[in-house]
Amino acid sequence: MPKIDFGGVHEDIVTVEEFPLAKAREILKSETITVLGYGVQGPAQALNMKDNGFQVIIGQLEGDEYWEKAIRDGFVPGKTLFPIEEAAKRGTIIQMLLSDAGQVAVWPKVKKCLNKGDALYFSHGFSIVYKEQTGVVPPADIDVILVAPKGSGTNVRRNFLDGSGINSSYAVHQDFTGRAVERALAIGIAIGSGYLFPTSFEKEVYSDLTGERGVLMGCLAGTMEAQYNVLRKNGHSPSEAFNETVEELTQSLIRLVAENGMDWMFSNCSATAQRGALDWAPKFRDAVAPVFNELYDRVKTGKETERVLTVNSAPDYKVKLEAELKALRDSEMWRAGAAVRSLRPENRKK
């Protein structure tokens, strides 16, 4: 594996050059990969593996909306689509891709289905790391592995279809067979990872929960709302406020960052924009640092886990979630966003 220099820190990175798809197929040729949960990550990983020629079956609650989605995607009841427990019995690699709360709910049944030498696979370290709260403690005679794509299921599938792949981390929690690392890497390649970098279950879940609540989602949403509200309070129109807060970021600037980094994006903006960004970035960094420290501490101590499990396992969770999402969707800022998106040239042609 090549060592890549990340700003003076060297990491072992695995790409398809070192671990080609043919090697992954050879390693997993006698394996049946069971994907439990056809909600967010499940469809993308299952379809990518299926398209790459691996033996994949789905485990899902029979007859629910995700069961029907699996059928629409080409999985066949009784052949490649089964109730969760039946699917778990048939697999040699069991992918736990249910929600974190869902994994807790089905674990007692899934555990009974595991055979010596099987592999239990996760795309998130949550259930294993917070075992005191989840109760997910695997038997000692199986492999426990992780491949965590750094993106939503939607983009795991999109990137696979356009040939770009999405970066993933990988880890081994338990190596009973002596094959745990190669099994993890093989599945990482099978699901279409752009490259794979090593981590641990602990580091994956700590970074993931912090990222989701921070820059990737929570901080992003909150910061956008704050700027939009300031602009509106000072008399700017909804269109202007939204364009200066969201549209220019998502349709222009973030693409420049993705291509060559933040400094390159700065160098491709006006001198006035450069100066303002360089002056104000440290102010924002210092202002939010205490919030990030609090967030990381809550993740590491399990307080965020407790919150997730309590709220997400409530019987009225979906009703309350939809109410929260509706409030967000119906806010002026995101109604303005819908209007702005409808004016994009590609949408006006429809």
pLDDT at 309 over 70: yes
Residue 71, pLDDT > 90, answer yes
Question: Roughly how many angstroms between the first and final C-alpha of the chain, as a whole number?
Answer: 47
Which listed residue (10, 124, 173, 236) is catalytic? 124
The CA distance from 138 to 143, in Å, is 9
Q: Is position 236 annotated as part of the catalytic site?
A: no
At 316, list the tokens.
Answer: 């009225």
Say whether pLDDT at 10 is over 90: no
Residues 39 and 76: their CA atoms lie apart, in Å, by 17
Q: Which amino acid is at 105?
A: A
Interatomic CA distance for residues 98 and 46, integer angstroms? 13
Report the percentage of the chain scoring pLDDT > 90: 88
Give the 3-state DSSP-derived string for the chain, with helices as H, strands as E and coil as C: CCEEEECCEEEECECCCCCCHHHHHHHCCCCCEEEECCCCHHHHHHHHHHHCCCCEEEECCCCCHHHHHHHHCCCCECCCEECHHHHHHHCCEEEECCCHHHHHHHHHHHHHHCCCCCEEEECCCHHHHCHHHHCCCCCCCCEEEEEEECCCHHHHHHHHHHCCCEEEEEEEEECCCCCHHHHHHHHHHHCCEEEEEECCHHHHHHHHHHHHHCCCCHHHHHHHHHHHHHHHHCCCCHHHHHHHHHHHHHHHHHHHHHHHCHHHHHHCCCHHHHHHHHHHHHHHHHHHHHHHHHHHHHHHCCHHHHHHHHHHCCCCHHHHHHHHHHHHHCCHHHHHHHHHHHCCHHHHCC
Mean pLDDT score, 324-344? 94
What CA–CA distances, in Å, run from 186 to 13, 69, 183, 191, 323?
A: 14, 26, 5, 9, 41
In the block, which residue shows the tokens 């993740």?
Answer: 299
Q: Which domains, ranges and CATH numbers included, belong to the chain?
A: 3-199 (3.40.50.720), 211-348 (1.10.1040.10)
Structure-token match 């009225």, residue found = 316
Q: What pLDDT, on the 0 to 100 scale, is given for residue 348?
A: 75
Return the pLDDT at 1.
63
Tell me the β-bridge partners of 59. Answer: 36, 82
For residue 350, the model assigns a pLDDT of 61
Q: pLDDT (tens digit, 9 = 90+) per residue, 273-293?
A: 999 999 999 999 999 999 999
Nearest partner of 195 among 220, 226, 167, judged by Cα: 167
Mean pLDDT of 228-233: 97
Q: Which among 201, 233, 44, 199 has a CA at the least distance from the CA of 120?
A: 201
Confidence label for 222 from pLDDT (cuts 50, 70 and 90)? very high
Is residue 12 pLDDT above 90, yes or no? no
Supply the mean pLDDT for the chain: 94
pTM across the whole model: 0.89
Cα 68 to Cα 71: distance, rounded to the nearest angstrom = 5
